[in-house]
Amino acid sequence: MDKKVRVRFAPSPTGYMHVGNFRTALYTYLFAKKTGGEFLLRIEDTDKNRFVENSIENIITLLEWSGLIYSEGVFVNPKSKISNSKQNPNSEMTNSTSYPDLVEIGNFGPYIQSERLDSYKEYAQKLIENGTAYYCFCTEQDLEAMRNEQIANKQAPMYNRSCLKLSTEEIQQKIAAGEKYVIRQKINTEGFTKYTDLIRGEIEFKNELLDDQILMKSDGYPTYNFANVVDDHLMSISHVLRGEEYVSSTPKYIQLYQNFGWDVPEFAHLPLLLNPDKTKLSKRQGDVAVEDYIKKGYLKEAIINFVVLLGWNIGDGSTQEVFSLAELEQVFDLKRVHKAGAVFDLKKLDWLNAQYIKKLSVDELYEKSLEFFAQKDFYNNAAPDVKTETYLKKVLQIEQERLNNLSEVGENNQFFFAPIAYDKVMLNWKDMLPEALQESLQKSIETLSGIAEENWELKNIEEKLFAVAGDKKGDLLWPLRVALSGAQKSPSPMELAWVLGKTESLQRLQNALER
RNA sequence: GGCCUCAUCGUCUAGCGGCUAGGACGCCAGGUUCUCAUCCUGGUAACAGGGGUUCGAUUCCCCUUGAGGCUACCA
């Protein structure tokens, strides 16, 4: 009964990937997966002023990184230097005419709006011909004056349709004279426009309150409002998933579909992401770009898991909260998406990230951590023998359960990478008498010396040390731990000794003893 | 201002007329072979307010309040 599900993610190339945008992409992708539909990427670059260099490539790279695979639309050209992708090479590719590093795949292209300008002109013309759109020659100054007057008179600011009165001759004259113009939608002001939102239910608007919005700008580019409708129809989009901010312009889009005689797609308006103070999530109150969180060392699994929970839950009495992308593809349901906005609260992201870090193998953790080590001074200044793969993996093994994000690697355990100073810390060694302290350190040295290099394993070290420690473990372990770390807080002395190795451990103990 | 939308612990949420209002994060306390972390156990904390409907409302309806969105030649 229903036609095939085809959904799209349609970002504008204005810079970074906003987390709210990313969530829209995620939900759209999951919806497609769950329903066996198609997911495609379209680029909405109709605002030349807001265009940011390389943002299309960033969007594509980010989608690929996150695993939100689309089968159709815009891709990075595999031949280009910046390509790091392995996209399906089957269907025929078309080089993008305006972006040398991009390529388009699919039967509904082009998928970049700036390459579809002729099409918008053609369809705008059709509306003019059937009387549901008209030329408008008002200047921005005209419009502003009009708006100010309306506001002063406590009227709702709306276009006053003065250009609707123009005769065909007048219009032709003006165009011939080279006057700038836009094309406006002629709203049907009778009655109501109603639609059923998949998330919000029935929503109704009084048509007389709708403005004659601009369809084609004077620079020949379409507005979002127009390009979106034309493309969604031409690309056979079945469901439109987008942010809540579009709820109130949807009736205008519906009239557009009707004016063309096209089927109206289903709409689902997603709740907004909020700042802690409940205003719309903004840059001013923290990081909003997915890239920022990647840089901070959050894993994609955690980001996806966190973001999907902001406005959706599995329901069915289940309390499951940790989901892989693959799982989500099975269980996601638009019906379980919330209506209310959700505060973007990082505490839970930290927790989720820690969960996913714990699941990593040491090898994986090592691979992912290298770039973060490379950003640390304490690491870059360290001796070569503490930068080896073997050594770093030991460090990471100990740190794994203490990490909230990867950018913290080594941060709290810098004593693994540099010699330590004892002065202050020594004084803080509990209330032990100097003699007892000496004795403890001696005992540690003896014990550790007794372990052969080839038996320098964590289990062994623990066994030996515990055996010697007896009842009052603290008396032995506390001084040992501080001697090895120079810190009040650290991993256990056994772990420290294991990572540092026999030679270095004994050296540090010796130093502590002699100071 | 007008129109639209939304409203359960601090946060994310379960609930779809009858529950001691459940879970997760955070926070607090205790435990787990020294500190930290992990892990385990326990605890703290919510139905915005007022009217209805009903034998009975967190749940349905209305109003108020609050929050958000739109009201651009931005999306």
Proximity of residue A44 CB to strand B below 7 A: yes
A window 54-93: Cβ near strand B (< 7 A): none
**Percentage of chain A modeled with pLDDT above 70:** 96
A289-332 residue pLDDT tens: 999 999 999 999 999 999 999 999 998 889 999 999 999 999 99
Q: What superfamily does domain A117-270 belong to in CATH?
A: HUPs (3.40.50.620)
Q: Which amino acid is at A24?
A: T
Candidates 3.30.1330.60, 1.10.10.350, 3.40.50.970, 1.10.3720.10; correct CATH number of A423-514?
1.10.10.350
For nucleotide B11, the protein residue with its alpha carbon nearest to C1' is A345
Q: What pLDDT, on a 0 to 100 scale, did the predictor assign at position A447?
A: 95
Say if A6-115+272-309 and A117-270 have the same CATH topology: yes
Tokens, residue A161: 């349709």
DSSP string, A41-80: E-B----GGG--TTHHHHHHHHHHHHT---SEEEEE-TTS
Averaged confidence pLDDT in chain A: 93
Sign (positive or negative) of CA dihedral A365, A368, A371, A376 = negative
Proximity of residue A206 CB to strand B below 7 A: yes
Does the pTM of the predicted model rise above 0.90? yes
Query: Mean pLDDT throughout A488-500?
Result: 95
Query: Mean pLDDT throughout A24-40?
Result: 97
A186 and A136 Cβ atoms separated by less than 8 Å: no
Candidates 3.30.450.40, 1.10.3370.10, 3.40.50.620, 3.30.2350.10; correct CATH number of A6-115+272-309?
3.40.50.620
Tell the residue number behind the tokens 């040398």, with chain if given: A100
Contacts of A461 (CB under 8 A, 6+ apart): A448, A451, A494, A497, A498
A405-418 residue pLDDT tens: 999 999 999 999 99
Instruction: Tell me how far CA of residue A52 lies from CA of A57, A60, A295, A398, in angstroms.
Output: 11, 14, 20, 43
β partners of residue A251: none
List, by residue number, the catalytic residues of A: 283
Between the CA of A275 and the C1' of B10, what is the distance in angstroms? Answer: 14
- Does the model's ipTM exceed the 0.90 cut? yes
A135-190 residue pLDDT tens: 999 999 999 999 999 988 888 899 999 999 999 999 999 999 999 999 999 999 99
Q: Which amino acid is at A80?
A: S
A217: nearest nucleotide, CA–C1' criterion:
B73
* Banded model confidence at residue A364, pLDDT cuts 50, 70, 90: very high
Residue A1 pLDDT more than 50? no
